[in-house]
Chains A and B, each alone.
Chain A
Amino acid sequence: MLKVSNISKSYENVQALNDISFDLRKGELFGLIGPDGSGKTSLFRILATLLLSDKGQVLFEGRDIVQDYRYVRNNVGYMPGRFSLYQDLTVRENLEFFATIFNTSFEKNKHLIEDIFKQLEPFQSRKAGDLSGGMKQKLALSCALIHKPTVLLLDEPTTGVDAISRKEFWQMLQRLKEEGMSILVSTPYMDESKLCDRIALIQEGKLMGVDKPSEIVASFDKCVYQIKGEQLYNLLSKLRSMEDIESAYPFGSSLHVYAATGLDLKSNIESLFPEVNVQVDVIEPDIEDTFMNLMTSKDG
């Protein structure tokens, strides 16, 4: 659907995007995973034909998006990261407005957003500015879908959204995907990447890898030791001072240590710090481990 080749973009002295290439396949849910400031928004704006790249080319269904920008705009739905609906229009008015812009009507295309609209319906005469965060996201998604696009571009749709609304939002994306929609979605939440068919990790304008989540994780080249016990925060600086340990980070209620395979970490900790009582397990890395490891190995 989308073929992105060697896209670069700079602003004054900042290189926002550095030689980005990947493709979005039909019916695929593709995740762009990276922190704020990594270049995700610049890429979305280029794909939505709102910004020109310095180098490279993007093809949408085989057409150059710069030449054929009108075709792109009619067939791509874009949900920007910042809430950009009309706050002083009601839910219903926003939907009608966006439908009209694309020469269609809300009534005609209502079936496209039926699932999501069901949840919005009780609030349809409420002003968009008075909706809760989760509802705003649902409305923004509805507005991006109302002209029946074939590709959906979602820039951080779940940032600042609570854990439950995030879950519901991703369930909606799964349903859209099953209906054949191709979706490019960006997120700073590493856990959401598991829900994508393929992901690209992006950091400082560069792609660090494009693959299935399971393949990305399989590229992790060290061993993850999970440490549980008491006084973990105090243990952290001790661990970092140990020779064989590459890095150590808190992970919820445990610590994760990255080091070579086959280390008897428990005995090492106990011999160096006899007062510490811990449980050590070797676990499978997840996306967050992999991402952090890629970030640090790039620096070093």
Chain B
Amino acid sequence: MATVTALGGVHSFRGERGSLSGNVDAVFSPALRLGESWSLLASARSSYEGTRRVVDVLGAATPAQERMEYRGAVRAVWADSSSRWRLKPGTSYKVSFLKETRDESWGGGLFDERLWTIGAEAEMVTREPHAVRASLDWFEASYPNYTSLESQAALQFSGQLIARELVGDKLLDRDGVRLGLSFDAPVGKRVRLDAALSSLWSRYPKQKVVNDAGLFDSRLREDILTSLTFAARMPREWNADLRTLGSVTFGASFLSSGQNGYDASRGRYMAGFYDYRELFIVPAVKILAGSQHAPVQIDASAGWRRRGYLHRLAQDGTGVYGGHALVTTEWTLTSTLTTPIAGRLSLMFTVERASASSNQRFERYYRYAYESTNALAGVRWDW
């Protein structure tokens, strides 16, 4: 199995248009039958992103951004025709390179990431093709180029008072466990329901918790990110040449972090600084027109996402803290037209728009309110 997508286009942010750039995404996946019950699925994914997408960290608005990712995974699948159960142990490794400024080089990006996962999924078929799935993964994420300045300073300027006790170096590195539960089931004759719950427990082995004096406690930071998603999908054949798949996805996310915040220049401490709740809803429609084997496909979706921090206060334009918790709202609109042109090759046109707003007025480092659009065109090849 293989898919290659190559798109070129432009990205604009707050009315400023970026230069013409491109994105390429390639997936190659050989599968091997090992016996009556066991199969092996390997996959390799490689991508380059020169044009920012609406799902990116847009508010950073860095002058230049390019990303490359390489991911390899192996998954064994045990499935016996006499059993409802399928077991799938697997492992994956991902390397990400990110250049946010012109002076960063490939491999030297501050947020370059390595991600290991190893785990397993158990699936119980309820009524073919519907199933219930449970998965457990251990992971380790590391940022080889990110070392806290404070830990560097402690070594370089030893003897000077410019580092706290218990300071850590690889502050963003984390490991932990992801637990996932999901199921899909028909609801009546026309609707299919997908539901998923995931919980990601992360431990930061080098990041100590900041206390109300602005110093480090001996405790390590631990986060739990919980996500709950429901999707109702409604396939329909209007006539021989027109089929649609309507869907509505809604969900919620909760981050509970053991880390606090400390604004040193104001001597301001905020417990639970990172905790938030987020709600989102995404109605979408897929329209398939023409031949069933090579239809023209239109995908369109609108997304609304609102995040409220539980303890982080919004600031005014200068940075003075107000009395209300920080809230952000984001709208996204995406549409893609895919037209088969020859064999396995299709033409693709994508337009995406994101609009964000917030009660946070302090935007010296990050834009909380913006309009962003990107337009991309290219080809996709499936095999």
Mutual binders A and B: no
Name A residues whose Cβ lies closer than 8 Å to a Cβ of B: none
